[in-house]
Chain A
Amino acid sequence: DHASFASRCRRRMLAWSNPVEYEYFTTVFGH
């Protein structure tokens, strides 16, 4: 479910320790 996946990625982005971090890609977008 692409929309749900994108929303869950956003939650992981928001939870990342450095707010402008963009390990990051694997953790935020990895299955």
Chain B
Amino acid sequence: MPLTAADESLFERWRERIEQLIRDHPLQIITWEATRRCNLRCIHCGSPAEEVDLGSELTEDEVVGAFEQIAADFDMSQFRHVNITGGEPFVRSDLLDILRRISRIPYYRNIDIQTNGIVLANRPELLAKLRQAGVTGLGISIDGLESTHDAFRHIHGGFRMAWDAARRAADSGYVVTVSVVAHARNVHEIQELFERVRDGIRPRVFRIMTIDPIGRTGFDSEYLLSADQTREVIEFLKGEYERSCHTYANRATTMVELGCGGWLGRDLEGLVRPFIWHCIAGINNLGILHDGKLGACSNIPRKFIEGDLRTERIKDVWDQQYRRYRSSDWRRTGPCATCKEWPYCHGGPMHKACIADRCLLHLSKLAVTCGAHDH
């Protein structure tokens, strides 16, 4: 369905609000990389343990102190939620103690944890304890049907554990996201996987991330998606979204979404996920990395670290640094230089900022297919 003049006008007004959000950069989300340690060694990991000094992890008191400092120093009137990532957060033996302490601070009322589900599957009693410690959402990775998932994550029985953890979490009332990394060896399974997850787990969100050449995934990886495969993923999402979005006001239904892979162009944005996408790293999302360095999401290269909470006040770093996140002109090179979509995407996700062929729209050649934009 081509864009109407009214749609174009709405996109312009949306762009103005994004630019205002970037100027204001209100703190709304804290992403805490709890650890880089992990109980798996997945092929696609964007934040692998071997890249960092694992001995420099923040202590329990340092983590809680950081959350207390933020609550004291920042304008928290727009704050929404805490997102905990890894590594695998549940390998921290003090995770529950930390959660109990930070959830006592009034602003940190909504906390979600991204996990591979192994610890939760083996210790299901944790679900009740996590609820008492303030956790409201769980994101669990399932990267294909059983044999595909287990091969991708190098663990026999991994699929079954992730499935059990997600199902128990959904049955316990958590806001559950099942996250799938789409790659060359599972793209043909996505429709079946979605139907099984929707009917068997009933999560709130079925999220697909396209695999990126970051972390352990090299540029020559056999897992990278071809243009046709990228298009196949987007066509699946577009079809399923169109079929099911009329049910999304009901929080018991499962929504589909494309994760932070990038901007898809005005023709498709808002038709493949229940929101208009823009990277929010360093804009309303502050990242505390495992060693106290300050950045945003844990898969963003560490060259984009903006400060260190062990030596600086977090608010000072947020106010005075993060220029590379908020002013994106330095990324306007290559195909971005002449792209008509630039005013809306500003170069796409920060985790792909160093990748020349980072644009999902360009990679999938959707621009050629729809003929609407020069790229």
Which residues of chain A have a CB within 8 Å of any CB of chain B? 2-3, 5-7, 9-11, 13-15, 17-22, 25-26, 28-31
Which residues of chain B have a CB within 8 Å of any CB of chain A? 1, 6-7, 10-11, 13-14, 17-18, 21, 241-243, 245-249, 251, 269-271, 274-276, 278, 280, 284
Knowing A3-B1, A11-B6 are in contact, say whether A20-B274 is a contact too (CB < 8 A). Answer: no
In whole angstroms, how far apart are the Cα atoms of A30 and B169 in the complex?
A: 26
Knowing A11-B10, A18-B17 are in contact, say whether A5-B245 is a contact too (CB < 8 A). Answer: yes
Pair B248/A6 contact, Cβ less than 8 Å:
no
Shortest distance between the CB of A9 and any CB in chain B (Å): 6
Report chain B residues within 8 Å CB of A11: 6-7, 10
Shortest distance between the CB of A3 and any CB in chain B (Å): 6
Pair B274/A28 contact, Cβ less than 8 Å:
yes
Shortest distance between the CB of A4 and any CB in chain B (Å): 8
Number of residue pairs spanning A and B whose beta carbons lie under 8 angstroms apart? 74
Shortest distance between the CB of A22 and any CB in chain B (Å): 3
Pair A14/B242 contact, Cβ less than 8 Å:
no
Shortest distance between the CB of A26 and any CB in chain B (Å): 5
Pair A2/B242 contact, Cβ less than 8 Å:
yes
Q: Is the interface of A mostly helix, strand, loop or mixed?
A: helix
In whole angstroms, how far apart are the Cα atoms of A7 and B1 in the complex?
A: 8
Those 5 A-B pairs whose CB atoms lie nearest each other, nearest first: A22-B275, A10-B270, A14-B10, A29-B248, A30-B249
Pick 14 A–B contacts, CB within 8 A, sort by A.
Answer: A2-B245, A3-B242, A6-B271, A7-B1, A10-B7, A11-B7, A14-B7, A15-B10, A19-B21, A25-B251, A26-B249, A29-B246, A29-B247, A29-B249
Pair A14/B276 contact, Cβ less than 8 Å:
yes
When the two chains form the complex, which single residue of B7, B10, B21 contacts A20, counting CB atoms closer than 8 Å?
Answer: B21
In whole angstroms, how far apart are the Cα atoms of A1 and B246 in the complex?
A: 10
Residue among A2, A5, A13, A19 with the highest chain B CB neighbour number at 10 A: A19
Shortest distance between the CB of A14 and any CB in chain B (Å): 4
In whole angstroms, how far apart are the Cα atoms of A30 and B13 in the complex?
A: 23
Shortest distance between the CB of B201 and any CB in chain A (Å): 20
Report chain A residues within 8 Å CB of B11: 14
When the two chains form the complex, which single residue of A2, A14, A29 contacts B14, counting CB atoms closer than 8 Å?
Answer: A14
Shortest distance between the CB of A27 and any CB in chain B (Å): 8
